[in-house]
Amino acid sequence: MYKSLRSALISLSIISLFIVGCVNKSGELQNVSEVSASSAIENLAQTPPMGWNSWNPFGKNVNEQVIMETADAIVSSGLKDAGFTYIVIDDYWQGERDSASGILNYNSERFPSGIKALADYVHSKGLKFGIYSDAGTLTCGDQPASFGYEEKDARMFAEWGVDYLKYDYCYCPDYASQNNDYKMAIDRYKTMGDALKATGRPIVFSICEWGPRSPWLWGKEVGGHLWRTSYDVGDKWDEPRNESSQIGILTSIDVMMDLERFAGPGGWNDPDMLVIGLRNSGFIKGGGCNEIEYRTQMSMWCMLAAPLMMGCDVRNMDEVTKSILLNKDVIAIDQDPLGKQGFRVYRKDGIEAFKKPLSGNRVAIAFLNRNTKEDKITLAYKDLELNKDIKYSVYDVWKHSEVQQPAGTISAVMRSHECQVYVLSPEKK
Ligand code: GLA
């Protein structure tokens, strides 16, 4: 009798263990909400994050009205349904840091309702909310930053309901010093990465160190989900790598080459934000790009499994901008669950070809014309590192239709700076 009561009690406690808790790797009991929070943290950014950032269009002039109207426009334009979910306020949301409490205030003139209320508004639209800070003493826009206040700031961000933190690297100790620059960057990002994790809130951590300290080598280890590979991309087609001014779309693509092995579910190379639709307006300028060049940025960012952070004023998009940003066929390449970054397989006389393996044994192929005149190309499967024994059907993601191709080859005609993108699916026998 006693024995059976005891075994009943033991089974009851085992069952209740399953109901209210689990045992973690070190044998400690965790409750269900802790377990689901930690798996939500582990499952962040399984595909490249998509959203909008205030920097390119608004810079210093960002305010709560703009953010609320942007959230509305992202929903009403269909951008939310296309996958753009994170709305990120970049630099210039901050006020003073209180010297006694160490609390970082927000700018109450431009954000009179406060950041928490703004996050609530963004969440009420079914979107996610992001914010910006910097690992040094000041941000790149000379606002108070998080050096020495990482835990305090992370806790405050979590209390506000922040889902994404872009973390810059201006004004850091040992910046560009001969002997400690690299190690310092890893330390600073790890300190914030740990602080974010300690809040228990799933927060995407966007490392913005611009590439000089090879963040693709350590970004994931310090808790990052994406890391900038380049300096800021301006609204311009071609401008070489340069620390003191913006680079062009082409340079940003080139900087991503050979980094594909560092990207995958949970951690992505970030060639900076989209300039599509800016047309030399907004904050960052750069001279502007034409429609073909904007479309090429979208194509190549998707081929490279890049985070897609829009950077135009989505409240006032023209039809061309909409058609580029809302192209679900090209977005599907970016968001493919296999999570492979595409790579260059061919480069000659200004014409390049890229390949991105996709789920379901499919492959995306892109042809890019860097030249100033129209050009055409035909490449055999072997030049594209494709299996010549497979017969593929070819779908043009900008024409939104299947296209006929001569057997064993892929051809494309490209206007100057144009990029053609095809999805190849093995035909059923
Ligand atoms: C740096 C970043 C930009 C932007 C500004 C804000 O330049 O690279 O993306 O966040 O700072 O000051």
Q: Is 168 in the pocket of ligand 1 (CB under 6 A)?
A: yes
pLDDT at position 168 is 98
Q: Is the pTM of this model over 0.85?
A: yes
Say whether pLDDT at 165 is over 60.
yes
As a whole number, mean pLDDT of residues 400-419 equals: 96
Residue 195 one-letter amino acid? A
pLDDT at position 305 is 99
Confidence of residue 28 (pLDDT cuts 50, 70, 90): low
For residue 10, give Cα distances in angstroms to 20, 21, 26, 273, 307. 15, 15, 22, 56, 50
Question: For 106-123, how does the pLDDT look when each residue is reduced to its tens digit (9 = 90+)?
Answer: 999 999 999 999 999 999
Backbone torsion region of residue 304, taken as left when φ is above 0, otherwise alpha when ψ lies between -120 and 50, otherwise beta: alpha
Name the residue with the closest Cα to ligand 1, atom 1: 140
Say whether pLDDT at 6 is over 50.
no
Say whether pLDDT at 244 is over 60.
yes
- Token pair for residue 77? 């334009």
Name the residue with the closest Cα to ligand 1, atom 4: 55
Question: For 265-297, how does the pLDDT look when each residue is reduced to its tens digit (9 = 90+)?
Answer: 999 999 999 999 999 999 999 999 999 999 999
* CA 114 – CA 48 distance, rounded (Å): 29
pLDDT at position 41 is 84
168 classed as catalytic: yes
pLDDT at position 33 is 64
* CA 186 – CA 191 distance, rounded (Å): 9
Q: Is 59 in the pocket of ligand 1 (CB under 6 A)?
A: no
Q: Is 293 in the pocket of ligand 1 (CB under 6 A)?
A: no
pLDDT at position 236 is 97
318 classed as catalytic: no
Confidence of residue 31 (pLDDT cuts 50, 70, 90): low
SS3 401: strand
DSSP structural state of residue 47:
S
φ/ψ of 254, rounded to 5, equals: -60, -40
Distance 144 CA to ligand 1 centre (A): 14
